[in-house]
Amino acid sequence: MRTFQTKKLDEAISLALAHVEPITESESIPTTDSFGRVLAEDILCPEDLPGFARSAMDGYAVRAQDTAGASREHPVTLRIIGSVEMGQDPRTLPDLLPGEACEIPTGGPMPPSADAVIMLEETARQNNDVVQLFSAVTPGTHVLAADSDFRRGELVFKAGHKLRAVDIGALLAMGILSVRVYRRVRVGIISTGSELVEAHEKIRLGQVRQINSHILRGLIESQSAQSLFFGIVPDEREKIRAAVQHAVSESDMVLLSGGSSVGARDWTLQILQDLGQVFVHGLQIRPGKPTICAIIERKPVMGLPGNPVSCALVFEKFVRPVLARRSGLKVLLPSHRLASAQLIQTVRSAVGREDFVAVRVRIDEADGTLYAEPILGHSHNISTLARADGIVRIPAELEEIPEGAQVWVELL
Ligand code: AMP
Ligand code: MG
Task: Specify the CATH superfamily of domain 9-24+183-326.
Answer: MoaB/Mog-like domain (3.40.980.10)
Percentage, residues of the chain above pLDDT 90:
95
User: Do the domains 54-144 and 338-411 sit in the same CATH topology, yes or no?
Assistant: no
Question: What pLDDT, in 10s, does the model give residues 34-62?
Answer: 999 999 999 999 999 999 999 999 999 99
How far is the C-alpha of 159 from the C-alpha of 165, rounded, in Å?
17
How far is the C-alpha of 389 from the C-alpha of 358, rounded, in Å?
8
331/244: higher pLDDT: 244
Q: Does the Cβ of 191 fall within 6 Å of ligand 1?
A: yes
Question: Under CATH, to which class is 338-411 assigned?
Answer: mainly beta
> What are the distances in angstroms from CA 268 to CA 7, 192, 231, 304?
18, 9, 15, 9
How far is the C-alpha of 147 from the C-alpha of 153, rounded, in Å?
11
Q: Residue 318 gets which letter from DSSP?
A: I
Question: What pLDDT, in 10s, does the model give residues 350-404?
Answer: 989 999 999 999 999 999 999 999 998 777 899 999 999 999 999 999 999 999 9
Q: Does the Cβ of 6 fall within 6 Å of ligand 1?
A: no
Spatial strand order in the sheet of 277-281: 226-233, 186-192, 253-257, 299-304, 292-296, 277-281
The residues spanned by each domain of the chain are: 9-24+183-326, 26-49+149-182, 54-144, 338-411
Type of residue at 165 = A
Q: Does the Cβ of 259 fall within 6 Å of ligand 1?
A: yes
- Give the count of beta carbons closer than 10 Å to the beta carbon of residue 27: 12
Q: Ligand 1 pocket check: which of 2, 192, 208, 237 to mutate, most ligand atoms within 8 Å of Cβ?
A: 208
Question: What pLDDT, in 10s, does the model give residues 184-231?
Answer: 999 999 999 999 999 999 999 999 999 999 999 999 999 999 999 999
Confidence of residue 76 (pLDDT cuts 50, 70, 90): very high
Q: Ligand 1 pocket check: which of 191, 211, 257, 381 to mutate, most ligand atoms within 8 Å of Cβ?
A: 257
The atom number, within ligand 1, closest to the CA of 259 reads 3
Question: What pLDDT, in 10s, does the model give residues 268-302?
Answer: 999 999 999 999 999 999 999 999 999 999 999 99
Q: Does the Cβ of 310 fall within 6 Å of ligand 1?
A: no
CA of 15 to the centre of ligand 2 (A): 26
How far is the C-alpha of 32 from the C-alpha of 36, rounded, in Å?
11
Pairing relationship of beta strands 400-401 and 226-233 according to DSSP bridges: unpaired
Q: Residue 96 gets which letter from DSSP?
A: P
User: The whole model's pTM is what?
Assistant: 0.93
SS3 for 173-209 is HCCCCEEEEECCCEEEEEEECCCEECCCCCCCCCCEE
Q: Does the Cβ of 59 fall within 6 Å of ligand 1?
A: no
169: three-class secondary structure by DSSP: helix
- Asked if 227 and 189 count as a contact pair (C-beta separation under 8 A), the reply is yes
Confidence of residue 315 (pLDDT cuts 50, 70, 90): very high
The residues, ordered by sequence, that sit 6+ positions from 155 with a Cβ below 8 Å of its Cβ are 42, 43, 44
Q: Does the Cβ of 195 fall within 6 Å of ligand 1?
A: yes
Nearest CA to ligand 1 atom 10: 307
**Is the CA virtual torsion 191, 377, 338, 399 positive or negative?**
negative
Confidence of residue 4 (pLDDT cuts 50, 70, 90): confident
Residue 135 has pLDDT above 90, yes or no: yes
Task: Specify the CATH superfamily of domain 54-144.
Answer: Molybdopterin biosynthesis moea protein, domain 3. (2.170.190.11)
Peptide bond into 50 cis (omega under 30): yes
Peptide bond into 234 cis (omega under 30): no
Which CATH number does 26-49+149-182 carry? 3.90.105.10
Residue 1 has pLDDT above 60, yes or no: no
Q: Ligand 1 pocket check: which of 203, 236, 307 to mutate, most ligand atoms within 8 Å of Cβ?
A: 307
Centroid of chain to Cα 218: 15
How far is the C-alpha of 241 from the C-alpha of 268, rounded, in Å?
8
Instruction: Mean pLDDT check: name the lowest of 1-10, 89-98, 313-322.
Output: 1-10
CA of 203 to the centre of ligand 2 (A): 17
Percentage, residues of the chain above pLDDT 70:
100
pLDDT, mean of residues 174-186 = 98
